[in-house]
Structure 1
Amino acid sequence: MNRPPPSEPPRDARASPSSSETSTSAGSASTSVHADIALVLEGTYPYRLGGVTTWVDGLVRALPALRFGVVHLYAGAAPQGRCVDVPPNVVWQVDLALPDDLTSLDPARLAARVPACSLVHALSTGFAGLVAAETKRQRGVPLLLTEHGIYWHEVEQGAPELETGLRLLGTDVSGGNPCASRAGWVEWLKASAREAYAAADAVTTVTEANRPLQARLGLRDGEVIPNGVHHPDTLAALRPAELRRLHSSAAAPADLRIGFVGRVTPLKDVHAIVRAFADALPRLPGARLHLIGPTDDPEYAASCRRLAGLRGVSDRVHRTGAQPVSPWLRHLDLVVLASRSEAEPLALLEAMAHGVPVVAPDVGGVRRLVTGGPHPPAGLVLAPPTPTASGPGRLDAALAEALVVLGTDPGRRRAMGAAGRARTRGRTVEAVAGRYAAVYRRLVPALGGRARGEGSTPSIKR
């Protein structure tokens, strides 16, 4: 990519290092081993379930001949307990703590702790992008940047914290946040994105919907590599009664199972789902709502429980916590999202691969995924809520109506489920890994034939 020389990091990212900055090696792998690819990420793999962790797990397992290293950036307490079994081709992992006082953030000092690698692959802008850019400068290796969600846009839409675990406007770290307002954080994240774009030798993203947001910050080229999914062999695994149900989707409203799949956070607006479910319940008697996913924000999860109680639906709303997704998808009739911001949601992709119709607002790549192209729609895409002076707007009425429309029409659910399976055919994790292997070979020709996908069983039981 033809880019100008990298600009100076934002002022807040160039101050002196903090004594609280730490680096630890995780697992049995030695940091003296040279990695082909160093993945730089924030607060996700291998400690926290979610779309990025699932994506990384699929990538490293589908490219077993490549040696990967993992640079995990975090804020606050050191991460404890992996949520995924790390495969043997992850040859080292380092956990790098951000300083308590973020005015002391020094990406160069953090990058100096990154072990040897042939290519650095950042999975976001923000802190990961800054550290990856410094790693490129110090080691003289190529930099690949992949954007899933657009960081600054997610914060603009109300995300309460960064992937590192840093609360944007709270004092979870020390109160030494360099930005005192949400608008300030948005501008800081935009500056970090420009820095990463300028340093990158190649930029990819998961959906065409991200391209206009990238272009607003000056990125004129790049490649879209959509997400893939492990396709379920459900027909062989299901019992005969379940098999008939999968084909018919004939659950009556009294038996309807509605599912939300994802992290229970404000950005996913689970409150809107609970309110819409409560509004729809009189017309869907006996229906149940299952909230399937990890609780990253205990306070928000508690507020969801309180809201269900206030709306009189506590006995109909079931919180599962972190669970394997695939078994649930075999029993759900609908999957619903109400996110304020998305890229290309794996939750919808997985539901569609299982033949489950979906309902979601028109954010990010949702419309293209669910209704675009030659196939019939795999669900209902709703107009996103219009922000108001007092808040982000409400999706409740449209969401409740969509639940009723599909909840009372098994034939339409059946048709949308079939369309979802057709839309996801060929969208495999192995195909995605193959495209990234081609990018790796282009940037580091010496990787040669080792950078080719061979496929592997996922560690995360989706």
Structure 2
Amino acid sequence: MKICLIAEGSYPYITGGVSSWIHAIVNQMPEHEFIIFAIGASRSQKGQFKYKLPANVKEVKEMFLDSYLEEEGIWGKRFRLTDVQKQSLQALLGEKLDMDWSGLFDMLRSPKFRNAADFLTSKDFFDLLEELCAKHYPLVPFTEMFWTVRSMILPLLLTIREDIPEADMYHSVSTGYAGVVGSLAKHLYNKPFILTEHGIYSREREEEIIKADWVKGYFKDLWIEYFYRLSSCAYEAADQVVTLFRRNKEIQIELGCDAGKIDIIPNGVNVDDYMSIRAQTTDGKLRIGAIIRVVPIKDIKTMLQSFAVIKRELPETEFYVMGPYEEDKQYYEECLQLQAALELKDVHFTGAVRILDYMGMMDLFMLTSISEGQPLAILEGMAGAKPFVATNVGSCKELLSGMDDGLGEAGLIAPVMHYEKLAMAAIQLGKDRQLREKMGRNAYERVKRFYRQEDVIKNYRRLYQKVGGEQ
């Protein structure tokens, strides 16, 4: 079977998390051929793969969301939109109306448009925008509304006009633009479409937009509703939706996904890979690690503030932030500046490393994310029999506390962005080696029973056969 895996902002440009999951799926299913449809943020990423692609990857199709910067349209044309087309575009811009994605796909891929920008410089679009301004934004200058909406939807229009490789099945690993591509492929080729959500994409975008300086306050709702619309496209089109844990399934249903479509397949790790890394250091120092990308959603700044509190109480502590920092260099520089302002010593930003080489040194791990799905970082630490301090996001509490499995706690949970409570939890574990070892044993046993990589592959192999049939 030829499967097109559609990934946004991850594989093969970024390591860890969803990218590691994709790489494992492809590597461990040699009986299938894969096409990678990679959606990147910037054209500067072109060809900059962080993974050696397995032999069964037959093609990598790259597209970049900043390509809209090259688009120029012809001003003032009229394309005679139908009432249904107008309604779908109004829904895309936030109106509470039904949306015909199939009709929108056909319209925007029509040869009557030279490129995506032609529509955004048409009289039809101006009419829609004038109506939107008059109804919802009467005090906002029209030019400001025009350039805001243009930057919002032009990447989507470019995505819809992209060439889609033919395959036997399409599998998007998020909603958003990846979900739209999967929905479009199903529309074009009438092939099965699977959606896997690791985190809830629309909720994550909402959190980012609420805090973003680049979106003015009166446009935040417009952007947020736009991303929820993209998610609804994938939920509607998908033949099967997979999520990682029960709470995510509940959120998907709240957002309009048909409950009958949803399966739960947890993440997993190869437990045997971690058998040899349990040795503790004996130099008297406490070492706290974080398996994490240095990006805002992981909230490294709160982690550094918690480190400063821990260091005052346990001055012999060392901290290791293990993960790539090239993805958002500005944020990384801000983290270094915060570290300097806190006069915080013994923090090591290692960059991307082989985690197994460091894990035996660590006494405990931390995760301070403001949003997560089911973090592979926690599963990796648990497989190494290490306790965790984590924020109460995604399935972190479920992983560390279990679901009435009788195994006991594998770590401590603290509120999001509460550096003092995160620090107090780490200090509690740092002062009690017996507690750390007990929680580490619980962690290892939970992963061994419920979160094994071979089960992930077995479940997806079965799902591919069920949805795609024998090819």
Fold shared per TM-score above 0.5: yes
Q: Which whole-Å deviations, capped at 9, do the CAs of 1:333-367 have from their partners, x for residues lacking one?
A: 11101111111011101000001110001111111
* Aligned partner (choices 438, 444, 447) of residue 468 of structure 2: 444
In 2: Cα distance, 1:43 partner to 1:341 partner: 16
Equivalent residue number for residue 411 of structure 2: 379
Contact 2:35–2:59 (8 Å) recurs in 1: yes
1:44, distance to aligned residue in structure 2 (A): 1.2
Aligned to 2:239: 201
TM-score (norm 1): 0.78
CA gap of 1:270–1:329, structure 2 versus 1, over 3 A, is same
Largest Rg, 1 or 2: 2
Report deviation, 1:111.
6.5
- Distance change (3 Å), C-alpha of 1:397 and 1:106: closer
Aligned pairs for 1:262-273 within 5 A:
262-273=292-303
Higher RCO (CA < 8 A, seq sep 6+): 1
Are the counterparts in 2 of residues 227 and 432 from structure 1 also a CA contact under 8 Å? yes
* Closer/same/farther in 2, CA of residues 106 and 366 from structure 1, 3 Å limit: closer
Q: For the structure 1 residues 267 and 353, does the alpha-carbon distance in structure 2 shift closer, same or farther, using more than 3 Å as the test?
A: same
| Structure 2 equivalent of residue 231 of structure 1 | 271
TM-score for the superposition, normalised by structure 2: 0.76
* Cα 1:109/1:138, change in 2 over 3 Å: farther
Does residue 402 of structure 1 match 2:425? yes
Q: CA contact under 8 A between 2:156 and 2:177: conserved in structure 1?
A: no
Assess if the C-alpha contact under 8 Å between 1:111 and 1:131 holds in 2.
Answer: no
Instruction: Measure, in 1, the Cα distance between the counterparts of 2:433 and 2:311.
Output: 17
Q: Is the 8 A contact 2:26 2:34 kept in 1?
A: yes
The reply on whether 1:64 has 2:30 as its aligned counterpart is: yes
1:160–1:266 Cα contact (<8 Å) kept = no
Q: Which residue among 195, 203, 206 is the counterpart of 1:156? A: 206
| Equivalence for 1:389 | none
Choose the corresponding residue for 1:351, options 376, 381, 386: 381
Correspondent of 1:302 among 333, 344, 347:
333
**Counterparts of 1:212-223 in structure 2 under 5 Å?**
212-219=250-257, 220-221=259-260, 222-223=262-263
Structure 1 partner of 2:50: 83
* 2-structure distance, mates of 1:371, 1:429: 20
CA contact (8 A) 2:174 2:196 kept: yes
> Counterparts of 1:274 and 1:178 in 2: how far apart (Å)?
29
Q: Give the match's secondary structure for 1:158.
A: helix
- Matched to 1:39, the amino acid is L
Q: Following the alignment from structure 2 to structure 1, what is the Cα–Cα distance between the partners of residues 433 and 192?
A: 52
Q: Distance in 2 between matches of 1:318 and 1:97?
A: 32
Question: 1:15-414 maps to which residues of 2 (within 5 A)?
Answer: 36-79=2-45, 80-98=47-65, 99-100=67-68, 101-105=151-155, 110=160, 113-158=163-208, 170=214, 181-219=219-257, 220-221=259-260, 222-235=262-275, 237=276, 243=279, 245=280, 254-295=284-325, 296-313=327-344, 315-373=345-403, 374=405, 375-382=407-414, 384-385=415-416, 394-414=417-437
Structure 1 residue 140 displacement after superposition = 0.7
Aligned residue pairs, count: 381
Structure 1 unaligned regions, length at least 5: 1-34, 162-167, 171-176, 386-393, 448-462
The structure with more helix, counted as a fraction of residues: 2
Q: In structure 2, what is the Cα distance between the partners aligned to 1:160 and 1:424? A: 35
Whole-Å Cα distance in 2 between the matches of residues 208 and 268 of structure 1? Answer: 22
**Taking structure 1 as reference, are residues 278 and 106 closer, same or farther at Cα in structure 2, changes over 3 Å only?**
closer
Amino acid at match of 2:240: A
Q: What is the identity, as a one-letter code, of the residue corresponding to 1:372? A: G
Q: Distance in 1 between matches of 2:342 and 2:440?
A: 30
Report if aligned partners of 1:155, 1:182 keep a CA contact under 8 Å in 2.
Answer: no
The structural deviation recorded for 1:109 is 6.4
State which of 416, 432, 440 in structure 1 corresponds to 2:456: 432
Alpha-carbon distance, 1:438 to partner: 1.0
Distance 1:122 1:407 in 2: 41
Q: Which amino acid aligns with 2:314?
A: L
Q: Equivalent residue for 2:82?
A: none
Q: In structure 2, which of residues 434, 443, 446 is the aligned counterpart of residue 423 of structure 1? A: 446
Q: Is the 8 A contact 2:173 2:197 kept in 1?
A: yes
Asked if structure 2 preserves the Cα contact closer than 8 Å seen for 1:120 and 1:142, the reply is yes
